[in-house]
Chain A
Amino acid sequence: DAGVIQSPRHEVTEMGQEVTLRCKLISGHNSLFWYRQTMMRGLELLIYFNNNVPIDDSGMPEDRFSAKMPNASFSTLKIQPSEPRDSAVYFCASSFAEQAQFFGPGTRLTVL
């Protein structure tokens, strides 16, 4: 069975550019979570969706960040414009109901 799929795995961009991260949920899962991981702050929940509906986006740093779920199996996280402080590893995770979250391999973002 395929796990959570994320793309790209690595992204290097210049400050001010738009960045789009992509995530495909595990088939049958109905909850989707976007996290950011840094050495300083650890794992931070940015936003989560349940049945395609954003439930809690209180972790989204600012208006430069946006996330969508155009369908039940796919999500995007967009940063526009990107800044060097956005450099981090971004994970998405999926789960079914209140069961364990399963994480993707992450996207390592570097903003120069």
Chain B
Amino acid sequence: GENVGLHLPTLSVQEGDNSIINCAYSNSASDYFIWYKQESGKGPQFIIDIRSNMDKRQGQRVTVLLNKTVKHLSLQIAATQPGDSAVYFCAENIDDYKLSFGAGTTVTVRA
């Protein structure tokens, strides 16, 4: 499953499929980006980060891709599981320590 743009805040994906969550960021000077996962009733949980000197970074079942030319960030989740159901936020640093968060994408995993 894949969503495009900040205006489609939901993504439904079949268990076992790969998920792609997209994010457009605003500040061309941002040099640090983070993906967070927030489950119901919990705080945002760090998933993976990437600096602007890289265009790809991999973690456990997750990959973040950064395209600075079009100011686009994506999070790929391999073999999506029911526990991946959550709201996913991208964040960019906008000023020293400050982060600007996207609106969030709700991912629902279908059994």
Contact A103 B43 (CB under 8 A): yes
What's the interface size class on A, roughly? 20 to 34
Chain A residues with CB below 8 A from B97, complex form: 31, 33, 48, 50, 55, 95, 97-98
By secondary structure, the B interface counts as strand
Q: Which of B14-22, B59-67, B71-79, B98-106 contacts A (4 or more CB under 8 A)?
A: B98-106
In angstroms, Cα B45 to Cα A101, docked, is 9
> Interface of A with B (CB < 8 Å)?
4, 31, 33, 42-43, 45, 48, 50, 55-56, 91, 93, 95, 97-98, 100-106
How many residues of chain B have a CB within 8 Å of chain A? 18
The A interface is mostly helix, strand or loop, or mixed, namely: strand
Partner of A45, one of B32, B36, B44, B99: B99
